[in-house]
Amino acid sequence: MLASHPSTNRSVVVLGAGLTGMSAALELTRHGIDHWLLEREAHVGGLASTQVESGYRFDRTGHLLHLRDSSRRARVLALLDEPPLEVSRRSFVYSERVYTKYPYQSNSHGLPAATAFACVRDFVQTLLHPPAQAPENFEQYCRAHFGNAISDRFMLPYNRRLWGVEPSEITTSWCDRFVPIPSLNDVLAGALGHDQRELGYNTTGIYPRLGIGELTAALGRKMTSLKLRTAPRRIDTAARRIDFDNGASTYRALVSSLPLHSLLRLIANPPPAVTDAARKLRCAPLYYLDVALHRAPRRSMHWVYVPEDRFPFYRVGNYAEFSSGMAPSGGACLYVELVDRLEPVLPTLWPQVASGLVEMGFIRTADDVAFCRVRRIDQAYVLYDRNRETALATINEYLNSVNIISTGRYGGWNYSSMEDAFQFGESAAATLLKELK
12-49+214-282+386-436 in CATH: which number? 3.50.50.60
Chain mean pLDDT for the chain: 94
Type of residue numbered 228 = L
**pTM to 2 decimals?**
0.93
Model pLDDT, residue 409:
95
Give the separation between CA 291 and CA 286, rounded to whole angstroms: 16
Encode pLDDT of 344-403 as tens digits.
999 999 999 999 999 999 999 999 999 999 999 998 999 999 999 999 999 999 999 999
Residues forming CATH 3.90.660.10 domain(s) in the chain:
284-382
CB distance 204 to 66 below 8 Å: yes
Residues forming CATH 3.50.50.60 domain(s) in the chain:
12-49+214-282+386-436
Residue 1's pLDDT band (cuts 50, 70, 90): very low
Q: Is the pLDDT of residue 74 over 70?
A: yes
Yes or no: is domain 284-382 CATH 3.90.660.10?
yes
Q: Is the pLDDT of residue 339 over 80?
A: yes
Closest CA to 319 of 59, 13, 15, 45: 59
CB distance 317 to 62 below 8 Å: yes
Give the separation between CA 383 and CA 137, rounded to whole angstroms: 12
Residue 4's pLDDT band (cuts 50, 70, 90): very low
Dihedral class, residue 257 (left if φ above 0, else alpha if ψ from -120 to 50, else beta): alpha
Q: Is the pLDDT of residue 5 over 60?
A: no
CA 367 to each of CA 14, 354, 370: distance values in angstroms, whole numbers, following the listed order:
47, 10, 8
Point out the least confidently predicted range of 5-9, 36-40, 226-230, 314-318: 5-9
Residue 69's pLDDT band (cuts 50, 70, 90): confident
Q: Is the pLDDT of residue 187 over 50?
A: yes
Model pLDDT, residue 10:
66
* % of the chain residues with pLDDT over 90: 87
